Amino acid sequence: MEDLFLVSIAVILSALFSFGAHRLGMLTADGAAASFLVGSFVGVFGSMSAFILMTIFTVSGFAATAKGLKDKEARGLQEGKHGERTWRNIAGVGIAPCAVVLLNILVDLDPLMFEVMFISTMTVAGADTIASEIGVRDPKVYLITTFERVEPGTNGGISLFGTAVSSMASLGIAVLGWVIMTQGLDPLLLIPFVAGVFGNLMDSVFGVLLEDRGYISKYSNNCSTAILGALFGALILMVL
């Protein structure tokens, strides 16, 4: 009965949050629908702690989008017309944690492995969001493959400020995620932190080598690097 109650709460909160974000112009209609599906899937088939972490991450992402939005609009660096997210944005971020939840259903992962992999998808997505939304304000941007100076917002462009802020975001999400999902602190939380930094850098590499050449979209890039981050985190845990 308690599990049914928690699942119901997760579904209701997903619906309310998605509807509210749509009404505030943060999500398009299809983005709201996708957000509801992702949140409900994690809440129903994952865990309440995973759902809470994802919700906090999503709210933080919207806050990062809103910060300095006028400046980003003036420079043409915002998402959509006014920073709104579509279903593609949600899928790019949401498929990876849903894939970890699905994997856990299919093979019954060790709880610690599930926690590391799920948190890692969040740290990668969080680091990438912060790098994209806040890091673009640093005018000194360099291409990750050649370190050639490029314009802010260029695929594969990295900056000292953006890398530092995104790494801090990855660490913050790792700590928060670990506390929420394990109810404690442990040096092992550094695994999803490292996975987040790794995944964020790979996002830039994929942006140059694959996205710019038309092999993948930026949403596929977001999704694949988050999954790569989860696998990287799992590999580190298995080695330790």
Q: What is the DSSP string of 74-104?
A: HTT-SSTTTS-B-HHHHHHHHHHHHHHHHHH
pLDDT-based confidence at residue 128 (cuts at 50, 70, 90)? confident
Work out the pLDDT band at 189, boundaries 50, 70, 90: very high
pLDDT for the residue 235: 97
Among 156, 172, 176, 174, residue whose Cα is nearest residue 164: 172
Considering all CA atoms of the chain, what is the largest pairwise distance in Å, rounded to the nearest integer? 59
On the CB side of 94, CA atoms within 13 Å amount to 23
Residue 142 CB neighbours (<10 A)? 16
What is the mean predicted confidence (pLDDT) over 140-168? 88
Residues 22-40 have pLDDT tens digits of 998 889 999 999 999 999 9
Task: Note the pLDDT of residue 134.
Answer: 67
Q: What is the mean pLDDT of residues 174-191?
A: 96
Q: What is residue 151's predicted lDDT score, i.e. its pLDDT?
A: 84
Cα 192 to Cα 73: distance, rounded to the nearest angstrom = 32
What is the separation, in whole angstroms, between the first and last Cα of the chain? 38
Per the prediction, the chain carries an average pLDDT of 88
Compare 63 and 4 and report the one with higher pLDDT: 4
Tell me what percent of the chain is helix, strand and coil, each rounded to the nearest 5.
75, 5, 20
- Structure tokens, 131: 């790098």
The model's pTM is 0.89
Q: What is the dihedral sign for C-alpha 23, 26, 28, 31? A: negative
